[in-house]
């Protein structure tokens, strides 16, 4: 008997043998058991995740001679013929090779006829997105109102290419990529049943290389068994896949952690003899740094990969979280820039040398008397004037109010010194419409419990209770005492509000800028010599 590849031999024959996709299986099982079957199903997802397999199991479930059930018997003639691909009422179509409208019309000519053997005539159209627009139009009416004895099972890797009219007439199930652990577990169960000796590192590597596809994993498994001579070994599997021995990855990271440039260079020279893919090397380094960062927070990252967990734990203890984050960012940026380097080997070297050259700056700020750096500032918000010293720190509002609020703005101090409403507005932790309300109000007076403000009538739309309460809370938090803020409408526009002051200052700056330009001797010479004119709208103050 000829050899049957593992992907075909171990293809699931019923829903219980499926790996993953529980969200799809639950819906289909309930629909079958309750006999609530739609006439058209669309299965989407990447290659090798079980789209056509689920469709064939569904075809068996509706045509099993024991009755419609989520557990087809697998022994009746209908089940056996579907498994063997020779059931006359299961019409499988590869839409990639039959895209013409004539092919679709020929296919649909027999829809009206009753099934020959089974309970339902099932049309399984694979890669349905490859059909032409004319083919979709020919399929549309039949798909919307098919005869009661017909079921349509559509499968595609690219549902975005399907017309909305087709999507709206199908029950759509999106199959997910399979987790690496699920693929590895299935591979090891198959190897145990096949009596093939294996090492867990090899199955893990194959599961990772499959990138969520069980069919790809089984194809790689077949190839690896042949490459390793009837068994599965780590080193031979690494060589077959062209992947990097992880010992080199951790040797690089240990050298970087120890700031040992000589050891790092020696490891890279040894690695070069294997002619690796340096993009893959950086991906492995970044993946290891990701696991190190997780290990510093939780132990979940140290799953069942025992060979790696020792290195991960050691590096997590040796490196600070700041170093790990910096190295990861350098690695990600180096991966992006690798193709711009003179060659990829030197690009990898420069990326690792950057990890050696840079370290996060130590935090030398004391906690007893913190002081902001000289350049610390708060950006100007809206039309507000430049912030004063009271707003130059990023500390929380309550702490800022207690430490840096001027004496004039502390409770009880307003009688000794005039209240600086401009500085208060600059320091308030508000944005948006609440900030605009504060900017367009004129300060009148306040006592221990109440503050009176007057709103510019040009901004009457800001006078509402919700904004007033937000401003009241912000002022109370900033001044460190509970205040009621009362806002009345002003009699004149643009008088003595922070926004008006800023507008006046901007106008003054604009006038000075225009005067500097018009009085410039060089510009006057250009006007006199060439008849040049000044575009005043283009003049902006610096």
Residue 149, both tokens: 């004895």
Per-residue model confidence (pLDDT) at position 44 = 92
Cα(221)–Cα(190) distance, rounded to whole angstroms? Answer: 10
Residue 216, both tokens: 């790809």
CA quadruple 490, 491, 493, 496: dihedral sign: negative
506: left (phi > 0), else alpha (psi -120 to 50), else beta? alpha
Cα(106)–Cα(331) distance, rounded to whole angstroms? Answer: 56
Residue 402, both tokens: 């207690």
Residue 409, both tokens: 């703005």
Q: What is the CA radius of gyration of the chain?
A: 36
pLDDT in tens, the chain (542 residues): 578 888 888 899 999 889 888 999 999 999 999 989 999 999 999 888 999 999 999 999 999 999 898 999 888 999 999 988 889 999 898 888 877 888 888 888 888 888 888 899 999 999 999 888 888 888 888 888 888 899 999 999 999 999 999 999 899 999 999 998 899 999 999 999 988 898 888 898 898 888 889 999 999 998 999 888 888 888 888 778 877 777 888 899 999 998 888 999 999 888 888 778 888 889 889 999 998 998 888 765 455 444 677 888 888 888 888 899 999 999 999 988 888 888 888 999 999 999 988 877 654 444 444 444 444 333 444 444 444 434 333 444 444 444 444 444 444 444 445 788 888 898 898 888 889 999 999 888 888 889 999 888 888 888 888 888 989 999 988 888 888 999 998 877 666 788 888 888 888 888 888 888 888 888 888 888 888 888 888 888 87
Spatial neighbors of 493 by CB under 8 A, at least 6 apart, are 456, 457, 458
Cα(162)–Cα(160) distance, rounded to whole angstroms? Answer: 6
Going by their DSSP bridges, the two strands 90-94 and 121-126 should be labelled as parallel
Cα(102)–Cα(99) distance, rounded to whole angstroms? Answer: 9
Going by their DSSP bridges, the two strands 450-455 and 441-446 should be labelled as antiparallel
CA quadruple 299, 300, 301, 303: dihedral sign: positive
Cα(213)–Cα(206) distance, rounded to whole angstroms? Answer: 11
Q: What is the DSSP string of 86-110?
A: --TTEEEEETTT--SHHHHHHHHTT
CA angle centred on 213, ends 309 and 189, rounded to 5°: 65
Cα(110)–Cα(124) distance, rounded to whole angstroms? Answer: 14
* C-beta of residue 450 within 8 angstroms of C-beta of residue 438: no
- The structure's pTM equals 0.58
Query: For the chain, how far is it from start to end, CA to CA, in angstroms?
Result: 86
CA angle centred on 277, ends 274 and 280, rounded to 5°: 125
Across the beta sheet with 450-455, what order do the strands follow?
Answer: 441-446, 450-455, 484-489
Per-residue model confidence (pLDDT) at position 417 = 58
Cα(141)–Cα(143) distance, rounded to whole angstroms? Answer: 5
CA dihedral 290, 294, 295, 301 (to 10 degrees): -90
What domains, with CATH codes, occur in the chain?
6-174 (3.40.50.300), 180-241 (1.10.8.60), 249-357 (1.20.272.10), 382-542 (3.30.300.150)
């Amino acid at each position: 008997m000829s050899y049957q590849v593992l992907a075909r031999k171990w293809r699931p024959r019923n829903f219980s043998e499926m790996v993953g996709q529980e969200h799809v299986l639950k819906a289909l099982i309930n629909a079958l058991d309750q006999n609530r079957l739609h006439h058209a199903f669309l299965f989407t997802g990447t290659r090798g995740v079980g789209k056509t397999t689920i469709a064939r199991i569904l075809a068996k479930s509706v045509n099993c001679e024991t009755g419609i059930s989520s557990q087809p018997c697998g022994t009746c003639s209908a089940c056996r013929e579907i498994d063997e691909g020779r059931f006359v009422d299961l019409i499988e179509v590869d839409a990639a090779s039959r895209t013409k409208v004539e092919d679709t019309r020929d296919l649909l000519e027999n829809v009206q006829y009753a099934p020959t053997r089974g309970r339902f005539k099932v049309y399984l159209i694979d890669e349905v997105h490859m059909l032409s627009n004319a083919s979709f139009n020919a399929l549309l009416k039949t798909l919307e109102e098919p005869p009661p004895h017909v079921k349509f099972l559509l499968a595609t890797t690219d549902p975005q290419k399907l017309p909305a009219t087709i999507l709206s007439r199908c029950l759509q199930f999106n199959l997910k990529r399979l987790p690496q652990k699920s693929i590895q577990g299935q591979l090891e169960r198959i190897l145990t049943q096949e009596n093939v000796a294996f090492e867990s590192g090899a199955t893990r590597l194959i599961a990772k290389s499959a990138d969520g596809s069980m069919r790809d994993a089984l194809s790689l498994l077949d190839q690896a068994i042949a490459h390793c001579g009837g068994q599965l070994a780590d080193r031979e599997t690494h060589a077959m896949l062209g992947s990097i021995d992880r010992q080199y990855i951790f040797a690089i990271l240990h050298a970087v952690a120890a700031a040992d440039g000589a050891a790092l260079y020696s490891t890279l020279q040894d690695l070069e003899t294997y002619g690796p893919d340096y993009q893959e090397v950086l991906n492995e380094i970044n993946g290891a740094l990701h696991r190190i960062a997780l290990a510093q927070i939780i132990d979940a990252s140290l799953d069942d990969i025992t060979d790696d967990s020792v290195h991960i734990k050691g590096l997590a203890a040796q490196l600070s979280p700041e170093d790990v984050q910096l190295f990861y960012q350098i690695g990600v940026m180096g991966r992006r820039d690798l193709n711009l380097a003179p060659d990829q080997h030197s690009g990898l070297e420069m990326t690792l040398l950057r990890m050696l050259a840079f370290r996060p700056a130590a935090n030398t700020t004391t906690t007893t008397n913190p002081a902001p750096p000289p350049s610390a500032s708060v950006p100007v918000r809206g039309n507000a004037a430049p912030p004063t010293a009271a707003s130059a720190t990023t500390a929380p509002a309550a702490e800022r109010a207690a430490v840096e609020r001027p004496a004039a703005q502390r409770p009880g101090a307003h009688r000794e010194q005039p209240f600086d409403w401009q500085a208060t507005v600059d320091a308030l932790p508000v944005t948006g419409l609440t900030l605009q309300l504060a900017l367009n109000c004129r300060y009148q007076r306040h006592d221990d419990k109440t503050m009176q403000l007057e709103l510019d009538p040009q901004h009457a739309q800001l006078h509402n209770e919700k904004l007033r309460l937000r401003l009241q809370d912000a002022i109370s938090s900033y001044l460190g005492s509970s205040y009621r803020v009362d806002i009345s409408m002003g009699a004149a526009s643009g008088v003595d509000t922070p926004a008006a002051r800023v507008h006046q200052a901007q106008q003054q700056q604009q006038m000075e800028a225009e005067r500097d330009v018009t009085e410039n001797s060089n510009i006057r010479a250009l006007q006199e010599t060439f008849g040049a004119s000044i575009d005043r709208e283009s003049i902006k103050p610096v």
